[in-house]
């Protein structure tokens, strides 16, 4: 797998940043996409010549398309995409939920993944590449009135639908379903839960499989 290229959304912190580090250690070139330009540049500098910082907005197709084009210009191909960008809600549930927050969540967690796939699909098809989506255990179980959970059900459904589509042209699709992870996603630290490194290992494991094998889903749960 040495020298292949991985495009990561939500790459500036947490799971995305750690996946970039571990993928680079495994021989991948990494294209880092997120809104936080300073964090991206710092991460790209840390990784070195096999990383490129691509500031942009996952809800903007033009921004994503420009980043995908720049990735191919710089590294010569695009072999895998990790659609990882996501957000949660400050006010969960329906009764007290904020429709403006729902719109933001839908834009990032649902439309953002669709736009990422739209922008990268031709490059993935050309490379017979690999799509990896950040789902959630919340997208595999029912949580009372969870709008966030429903958005992750969409992600799992999309992954299931993309698997046969990509198989037709030699591509692969994987959904990673973490339990609670100690990342900036939460307002308070979760020291007894999963770490971003745990999820990054799952992503790298999936994309480093031989071409005849597709790991379609990985569920990673904390032991406590």
Give the Cα separation of 176 and 204 in Å (integer): 11
Nearest to 75 by CA among 116, 38, 23, 114: 23
CA angle 121, 57, 47 (to 5 degrees): 80
Nearest to 193 by CA among 149, 223, 152: 223
Output phi, psi for 68, to 5 deg: -65, -45
Output phi, psi for 186, to 5 deg: -100, 145
Beta bridge pairs of residue 31: 7, 52
Give the Cα separation of 31 and 188 in Å (integer): 29
Start-to-end Cα distance in the chain:
34
Structure tokens of 43?
Answer: 């991460």
Annotated catalytic residues are: 148
């Amino acid at each position: 797998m040495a020298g292949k290229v991985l495009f990561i959304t939500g790459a500036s912190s947490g799971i995305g940043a750690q996946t970039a580090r571990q993928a680079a250690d495994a021989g991948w070139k990494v294209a880092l996409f997120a809104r936080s330009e300073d964090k991206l540049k710092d991460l790209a500098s840390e990784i070195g010549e096999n990383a490129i910082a691509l500031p942009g907005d996952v809800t903007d197709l033009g921004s994503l398309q420009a980043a995908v084009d720049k990735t191919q210009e710089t590294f010569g191909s695009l072999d895998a995409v990790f659609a990882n960008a996501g957000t949660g809600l400050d006010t969960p549930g329906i009764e007290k939920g904020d429709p403006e927050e729902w719109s933001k969540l839908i834009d990032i967690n649902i439309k953002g993944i669709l736009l990422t796939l739209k922008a990268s699909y031709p490059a993935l098809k050309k490379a017979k590449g690999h799509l990896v989506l950040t789902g959630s255990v919340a997208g595999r179980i029912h949580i009372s009135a969870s709008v966030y959970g429903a958005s992750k059900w969409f992600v799992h459904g999309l992954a299931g639908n993309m698997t046969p589509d990509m198989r037709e042209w030699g591509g692969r699709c994987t959904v990673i379903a973490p339990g609670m992870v100690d990342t900036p996603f939460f307002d308070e630290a979760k020291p007894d839960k999963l770490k971003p490194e745990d999820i990054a290992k799952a992503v790298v494991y999936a994309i480093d499989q031989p071409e005849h094998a597709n790991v379609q889903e990985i569920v990673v749960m904390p032991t406590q």
